[in-house]
Structure 1
Amino acid sequence: MSRPVVLTRPIAQAEPLAGRIRALGRAVEVLPLLEITPLPDQAPLRAALAGLADYQLVAFVSPNAVDAAFAHIPGWPEGLRAAVVGEGSRQALIARGVPASQIDCPADPAHSDTEHLLQALDLSALRGARVLIVRGESGRELMADSFRAAGAAVTVLPAYRRAVPQLTPELAARLRALIDADAEWIITSSEALRGLIGLLQQLNNVKIVASLQHQHLIVPHSRIADTARELGCQNVTLTGSGDERVLAALQSRP
């Protein structure tokens, strides 16, 4: 009998991939390791997005950023370019009517991060341009700093809040059961992985953390793989961005 698969994406993006994994005959546990919530005050978000056509480039750092923004975008302005760091965000934009030809992303799906997005963009063309970055309340400053260094006028727009869930008795029981089942874990952010380790440490059982460190982790980005190894995880598969690659990694193992 195959091991269960734990899908740790935020709940809004989890079900489509979970359904495809079930279609492979695998048992799936959807266990969001980051809770995504709207900002209490939506007025600044609505105001900034009302002037979307005034920008020359809009960058979305994640599918969550796309979801939060499009709650206030009735239609994508004609000719406006978008930039994303991963395949999930690119597909989310296409699903909302943004033409694929207007979306910039890293050339290599195995390196879906800000560094490789910046390499894919013509930064010199952004001199004097207005650029909007849609992200969570906190995040890396590399993208904004690089656009400003290229001469762009950059607005960073917080669109949502993320947090590791609280360790309830129910969550503690689920974590213990999944560790005991020797599951395969699909981890989609470094923050989520650190949160998982933190939750397991709260169980006050060193063996549980050690057990996770030996279980199979499937990660889409090299930065997450590096984080996993820093945290002592020894069995890490780097797939590159996109659900197809995650599914292929699951199918390649017995």
Structure 2
Amino acid sequence: MPDTVVITRPRQQAEPLARAVAALGRTPLILPLLDISPLPDATLLRAALGRLCDYALVAFVSPNAVDAAFAHIDDWPADVALAVVGEGSRAALARHGIDGARYRIHVPLDPSRSDSEHLLQALDTAALAGCRVLVVRGETGRELLPDALRAAGIHVETVAAYRRAVPCLTPDLAASLRALLDRPNDWIITSSEALRGLVALVEQLDGGASVAKLQRQHLIVPHARIAETAGALGFTAVTLTGSGDERLLAALQSRA
């Protein structure tokens, strides 16, 4: 079994998981594959969040969306429901004092299918018809959730809360990638966008030879959509855990 566990989340979100990985006796290595940064102008975000009582539901597409939004929120209205696509986002809400005991929080029913499609299945869209819903997300992202809600007769607004980008291939990053590809590792991948970005970075090293090495690495992923992306990109060893850090850690323990 490899010793190193490569954690590819943005650094702030990766550090708690890295501590838990170390507690298992493994060596965590944080290698952020998405750079998350604040918006240069948060005027529209603050305006939308200043009207929370106007919405029947506010949906957050990621933990980053939760954290970025709650930097501008003092109190959450008790009668405004929330929706998140996975356990990571629900944990982010809990860090800001929002839990299921006091607030209505909608999540996908199947923890292995933490995505917009399965969040939609958990929502009573008929009851929301004619209501206003706010979707908080990054500057770019899938349109599936807002489009599906609009198709159900719901008045949807979207607002960007942060921006994200794949890092550039610096000499230091290239050296880190080459060293990792020379040995087997467990890679925790929590974003399809990050996985595609990783492949694009490795392609810049020397093309096909490094990509072939990458495809033989073992991936641990929380969502079926990421597993599908990995299969399409040629990865041959993928473990699907379901949403939540405890399931990611359980998968690492099972490999001991």
**Range into which the TM-score falls when normalised by the shorter chain:** over 0.9
Alignment map for 1:242-253 (pairs within 5 Å): 242-253=244-255
Alignment map for 1:173-252 (pairs within 5 Å): 173-252=175-254
Residues 225 and 236, structure 1, Cα contact 8 Å, conserved in 2: yes
Q: SS in structure 1 opposite 2:67?
A: helix
Q: SS in structure 1 opposite 2:206?
A: coil
Separation in 1, partners of 2:207, 2:136: 39
Alignment map for 1:93-172 (pairs within 5 Å): 93-101=93-101, 102-172=104-174
Separation in 1, partners of 2:137, 2:253: 33
Separation in 2, partners of 1:217, 1:134: 29
Q: SS in structure 2 opposite 1:109?
A: coil
Q: SS in structure 2 opposite 1:110?
A: coil
Separation in 2, partners of 1:200, 1:156: 34
Separation in 2, partners of 1:129, 1:98: 22
Residues 114 and 142, structure 1, Cα contact 8 Å, conserved in 2: yes
Number of residues of Structure 1 aligned to a counterpart in Structure 2: 254
Superposition deviation, residue 205 in structure 1: 4.4
Residues 214 and 233, structure 1, Cα contact 8 Å, conserved in 2: yes
Residues 138 and 163, structure 2, Cα contact 8 Å, conserved in 1: yes
Separation in 2, partners of 1:31, 1:218: 15
Residues 2 and 185, structure 2, Cα contact 8 Å, conserved in 1: no
Residues 222 and 241, structure 2, Cα contact 8 Å, conserved in 1: yes
Separation in 2, partners of 1:213, 1:27: 21
Q: Which amino acid aligns with 1:206?
A: G
Q: Which amino acid aligns with 1:208?
A: S
Residue 41 (str. 1) matches residue 62 (str. 2): no
Superposition deviation, residue 51 in structure 1: 0.8
Q: Which amino acid aligns with 1:34?
A: L
Q: State, as a whole percentage, how many aligned pairs show the same letter.
A: 65
Residues 3 and 181, structure 1, Cα contact 8 Å, conserved in 2: no
Q: Which amino acid aligns with 1:221?
A: H
Instruction: Single out whichever of 202-211 and 77-86 deviates more from structure 2.
Output: 202-211
Superposition deviation, residue 99 in structure 1: 2.9
Superposition deviation, residue 3 in structure 1: 2.3
Q: Which amino acid aligns with 2:164?
A: R
Separation in 2, partners of 1:161, 1:231: 25
Deviating above 4 A after TM superposition, structure 1's stretches of 4 or more consecutive aligned residues are: none
Q: SS in structure 2 opposite 1:202?
A: helix
Q: SS in structure 2 opposite 1:237?
A: strand
Superposition deviation, residue 139 in structure 1: 1.1
Aligned to 2:29: 29
Q: Which runs of 5+ in 2 are unaligned?
A: none
TM-score of the two chains, using structure 1 as the length reference: 0.97
RMSD value, Cα: 1.1
Aligned to 1:56: 56
Superposition deviation, residue 90 in structure 1: 0.7
Q: Which amino acid aligns with 1:75?
A: D
Q: Which amino acid aligns with 1:117?
A: L
Q: SS in structure 1 opposite 2:198?
A: helix
Q: Which amino acid aligns with 2:11?
A: I
